[in-house]
Structure 1
Amino acid sequence: MDRVDRWARSARSCLVRSSVRRSMPWGLLGLMLGGSLVKDWAPLPESYLSNKRNLLNVYFVKFAWAWTLWLLLPFIGITNHYVTQNALAVLRRLTALLVGTVVWYACTGVFLHIEDFTGSCYKSASLDVLHRQHPSKLQCLQAGGFWHGFDISGHSFLLSYCALMIVEEMAVMHHLDTSRNPRLHRVVNYLFLALSCLTVIWLFMFLTTAIYFHDFSQKLFGTLVGLLAWYGTYRVWYLSPFSPGLPPNIASWSSPKPKRSL
């Protein structure tokens, strides 16, 4: 248990600081730009990570939103209830996951429509023979063709958005002290460490996407959409009273309320 506590304290010092939340959007842009420069100017040789069938891509990235949702749901519920002792406040905060699900579903749907609208069907990946009789991607693929359109990087969007969302929600750990409840302390530590590991995986696979896949413009648009989705929710909408709100601050919930004057 002492080892888990040490790991949790180390992860807190790295991921829970406000400076990390402020700098991560710029860090993501830096990873995308740096990886894209490597891909375009000094491409790395083919490797296990350049294969789309690698384990991290198949079992984690393909289900990135499911992993994020599955871990954030109990984490937000437990930590927010411990701080607020208010079931309605917890339910309100959990709607942030519903908002995230809508954002994920809507953006990926728009990406697919853009690829379908801007693309054409070719006989092969060499783009030499055009199949005009197949005007949609579905028809093209069913006919054994190759569809070429503006394929905005869904991985760049989703991995950046998930990483930013997790870091925002882990901010509740900054002042959270569950040491008086050993069982709760253990559960929160394990959930926090799992989310920390997931964040590292998302950042690593985000960089891998930048180095090996997609054109620069496709990755740029995907990353910008992820950053805008985060900014529009956690930096704009969630500051208003009619929203899921931000993770609770213990000081604001524990401080005594001012007495009304008679």
Structure 2
Amino acid sequence: MEHLERCAWVLRGTLVRSAVRRYLPWALAASMLAGSLLKELSPLPESYLSNKRNVLNVYFVKVAWGWTFCLLLPFIALTNYHLTGKAGLVLRRLSTLLVGTAIWYVCTAIFSNIEHYTGSCYQSPALEGERKEHQSKQQCHGEGGFWHGFDISGHSFLLTFCALMIVEEMAVLHEVKTDRNHCLHAAITTLVVALGFLTFIWVWMFLCTAVYFHNLSQKVFGTLFGLLGWYGTYGCWYLKSFSPGLPPQSSSLNLKQDTYKK
């Protein structure tokens, strides 16, 4: 438990700072552009991480929202109830996960439709021999063809949104004080470590996406959707009274408004 607490202390000191919430969106956007330029001008040699079947991609990134949802659910419930003692407020704050689910679902549906309506089926990855008889991606793949359309990077979108959402919710740790001998302390410490490592995985895989996959425009749109999903909620809507609200903090509304004004 001592090692876990040390790890949680380091992660809290790293991810809970207001500077991280302020500059992480800019850092993600800049790294996406830098990685994309590197991919276009001086591609890196293939590696384990450039293989879509790598462990992090298959078991984490492919289900990124599932991981984020499942870890934020108990974290928000425990920390918010510990600070407020109000079940109604906790349920209201947990609705942020429903909002996040809606954003994930709508955006991925939009991406899929864009790829469908801009795509065509070909006989080979080199886009040779268009097969006009196949009018959908599923039908094309089912017949051994290769579908090519404008494929907005779902990874860029989801990893951006998930990382920023976790960092926003972890801001509540500024206010959380627990007895080290209480089971709540162990639970929150474990969740802090899990969420911290998850955030680093999301950022790392975002960088891998930037340097190995998709073209620049596809990653720009994907990252932009992720940033808009985050800012539209935590930067705008959650500041209003008719919303799930922000994580409970001392003068949270004023602090949040100051953060986005800087």
Structure 1 and Structure 2 fold alike (TM over 0.5):
yes
The residue that corresponds to 2:200 in the other structure is 200
Task: Tell me by how many angstroms 1:180 deviates.
Answer: 5.6
Q: Any idea what SS the aligned residue of 1:49 has?
A: helix
Secondary structure in structure 1 of the residue aligned to 2:44: coil
CA contact (8 A) 2:156 2:206 kept: yes
Q: How far apart, CA to CA, are the structure 2 residues paired with 1:181 and 1:232?
A: 39
Residue matched to 2:216: 216
Residue 247 of structure 2 corresponds to 247
Corresponding position of 1:120: 120
Could you give the per-residue CA deviations for residues 113-134 of structure 1, whole angstroms, max 9, x where no partner exists? 0000001111111112111111
- 2: CA distance, partners of 1:8 / 1:22: 21
SS of the equivalent of 1:44 reads coil
User: How many residue pairs are counted as aligned between the two chains?
Assistant: 252
Q: What is the letter of the counterpart of residue 121 of structure 1? A: C
Aligned equivalent of 1:45? 45
Q: Are 1:238 and 2:238 an aligned pair?
A: yes
The TM-score, its normalising length taken from structure 1, stands at 0.94
Q: Provide the secondary structure at the position in 1 that maps to 2:147.
A: strand
Instruction: Determine the C-alpha separation between the residues in 1 that align with 2:65 and 2:27.
Output: 21
CA distance in 2 between partners of 1:112 and 1:88 (Å):
37
- CA deviations over 1:52-111 (Å, ceiling 9, x no partner): 000000100011000000100000000000000100000000000000000001100110
**1:195-223: CA deviation from partner (whole Å, max 9, x where unpaired):** 00000000000000011000000000000
Distance (whole Å) between structure 2 residues aligned to residue 157 and residue 196 of structure 1: 19
Output aligned runs, 1:1-262, within 5 Å: 1-179=1-179, 182-250=182-250
Q: Secondary structure at the match of 2:102?
A: helix
What percentage of residue pairs aligned between the two structures are identical? 62
CA distance in 2, matches of 1:133, 1:7: 57
d(CA) in 2 for partners of 1:109 and 1:40? 28
Q: Distance in 2 between matches of 1:2 and 1:243?
A: 38
The 3-state SS of whatever aligns with 2:121 is: strand
Give every structure 1 segment of 4 or more consecutive aligned residues whose post-TM-superposition deviation is greater than 6 Å: none
Tell me by how many angstroms 1:4 deviates: 2.1
- Backbone CA RMSD of aligned residues: 1.1
Map of 2:255 onto structure 1 = none
Aligned counterparts of 2:180 and 2:54: Cα–Cα separation in 1: 43
Q: Distance in 2 between matches of 1:180 and 1:194?
A: 18
Report the residue type matching 2:186 in the other structure: R
CA contact (8 A) 1:176 1:250 kept: no
- Work out the CA distance in 1 between the residues paired with 2:160 and 2:169: 14
Q: Is the 8 A contact 2:180 2:186 kept in 1?
A: no
Higher Rg: 1
Question: Shift of the alpha carbon at 1:182?
Answer: 2.5
Is this contact kept in 1: 2:161–2:230, CA < 8 A? yes
Unaligned residue ranges in structure 1 (runs of 5+)? 253-262
**Runs of 5+ consecutive residues of structure 2 not aligned to the other structure:** 253-262
Q: Contact conserved, 1:64 with 1:158, CA < 8 A, in 2?
A: yes
Distance 1:180 1:250 in 2: 23
Bigger mean CA deviation after superposition, 2-11 or 67-76? 2-11
Residues in 1 aligned to 2:250 and 2:190: alpha-carbon distance in whole angstroms: 21
Question: Do the aligned partners of 2:172 and 2:249 also contact (CA within 8 Å) in 1?
Answer: yes
Structure 1 residue 9: Cα displacement: 1.5
Deviation string 1:170-207 (CA, Å, 9 cap, x unpaired) is 00001211136521111101101100000000000000
